[in-house]
Amino acid sequence: MKKNIKFIALDIDGTIMDKNFHISDRVKIAINNVTQKGVKVVLATGRMYVATLPIAKTLQLTTPLITYHGSLVKDEHHEYIHHKIDKETALKLISDLRKFNMQVNICINDELFSEKETPQLVQYAKERDLSYNIVKSFES
């Protein structure tokens, strides 16, 4: 029995992109081949939408992007799903993470915010071609 694949969801980091943030020609050709056959290819990632869109454009994908670990699904024209965390929950999470001395970053409307610039933040932003904002405190 022949099965027709209609949809493929792909992660980015460590899946279609190697550790050097490079997409091989082999992956690009494979994605192009299946899209030419009518298969919808969707990127599903923990990345911010703004960091995912250039990758989709490189791959010539026009499907909606599943970003922020599934909490935002949108394309350039429509927002389909957007699950936000309310302020009280966000502040509780930040407080809990501080207890473990964690690097806390917040994304609001595709902008990245942090209370301090760390080597991890600089590397994260550089590897994903993002800018970021340093704020005095998330509470303020």
82, 89, 94, 123 from 76: Cα distances, Å? 14, 29, 31, 27
SS3 call for 132: strand
- Return phi, psi of residue 75, to 5°: -125, -170
129 part of the active site: no
- Return phi, psi of residue 106, to 5°: -125, 140
Catalytic residue among 11, 13, 75, 110: 11
Active site residue ranges: 11
